[in-house]
């Protein structure tokens, strides 16, 4: 009788462990990035392939700001305009600005690059995406508003993606 109860407890624990293992889908991580005139805080994020990432952007500045993530800055007559390569190429993050789901926030920048624009004075935006293999590497995040002047004043950061 005693050994029966012991076996029952053992099987139960085993089932609980298996259930816990199955329930762990993609790891979910959330970060809040504060935008100010002219910085991202924190200005470095480390992400891993497979993670479901939610970024909360809060604009505490007096000016409108945007977030773009890519490689190699493009310039037009000396003005920084965006990136040659977009970290979100082929990915459609879910974007909410304030309380509203934005359908045209993504990939609407020149060259089809992804960007999110956040209203000034405590405006908020949220984006959610899953980190893909193609994102592995080091990326720059930046705001190119006001003819690239935010970028020039240091509104940049880094996203490091590891396998
Ligand atoms: Cu800006």
Q: pLDDT, tens digit, for every residue of 103-123?
A: 555 555 556 788 899 999 999
**58 CA to middle of ligand 1, Å?**
12
CA dihedral (37, 92, 82, 140) positive or negative: positive
pTM of the complete model: 0.81
- Whole-number pLDDT of residue 143: 97
Confidence category of residue 5, pLDDT binned at 50, 70, 90: low
Could you tell me the sign of the dihedral formed by the alpha carbons of 131, 134, 137, 141, in that order?
A: negative
- Ligand 1 mean position to 155 CA, how many Å? 6
Question: 65 alpha carbon to ligand 1 midpoint, in Å?
Answer: 4
How many Å lie between the centroid of ligand 1 and the Cα of residue 66?
6
**How many angstroms does the Cα of residue 81 sit away from the middle of ligand 1?**
12
Cα of 67 vs centre of ligand 1, distance in Å, is 8
Which residues, in sequence order, are bridge partners of residue 65? 118
Confidence check: pLDDT of 152 > 70 = yes
Q: pLDDT higher for 103 or 93?
A: 93
Instruction: Say if residues 64 and 117 touch (Cβ distance below 8 Å).
Output: yes
Segment (H or E) for 44: strand 44-48
Sign of the four-CA dihedral 33, 30, 92, 96 = negative
| Nearest residue to 33 (alpha-carbon basis) of 91, 102, 116 | 116
Coil, strand, or helix at residue 106? coil
Q: Nearest Cα to 115, choosing from 78, 65, 80?
A: 65
Ligand 1 center to 62 CA (angstroms):
10
pLDDT at res. 24: 63
Q: How far is the CA of 15 from the centre of ligand 1 (A)?
A: 52
Q: Which helix (H) or strand (E) holds 54?
A: strand 52-59
Q: Distance (Å, rounded) from C-alpha 160 to C-alpha 136? A: 8
Q: How far is the CA of 88 from the centre of ligand 1 (A)?
A: 19
CA-only gyration radius of the chain, Å:
21
**pLDDT at residue 11 tops 90:** no
Q: How far is the CA of 161 from the centre of ligand 1 (A)?
A: 23
* Cα 13 to ligand 1 centroid, rounded to whole Å: 53
């Amino acid at each position: 009788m005693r050994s029966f109860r012991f076996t029952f407890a053992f099987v139960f624990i085993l089932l609980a462990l298996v259930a816990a293992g199955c329930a762990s889908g993609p790891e979910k991580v959330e970060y809040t990035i504060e935008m100010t005139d002219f910085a991202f805080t924190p200005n470095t994020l480390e992400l891993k392939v497979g993670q479901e990432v939610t970024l909360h952007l809060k604009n505490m500045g007096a000016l409108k700001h945007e977030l773009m993530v890519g490689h190699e800055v493009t310039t037009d007559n000396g003005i920084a305009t965006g990136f040659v390569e977009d970290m979100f190429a082929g990915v459609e993050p879910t974007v909410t600005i304030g309380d509203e789901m934005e359908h045209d926030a993504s990939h609407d920048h020149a060259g089809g690059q992804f960007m999110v624009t956040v209203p000034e004075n405590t405006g908020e935006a949220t984006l959610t995406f899953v980190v893909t293999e193609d994102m592995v590497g080091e990326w720059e995040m930046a705001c190119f508003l006001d003819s690239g002047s935010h970028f020039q004043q240091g509104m940049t950061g880094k996203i490091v993606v590891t396998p």
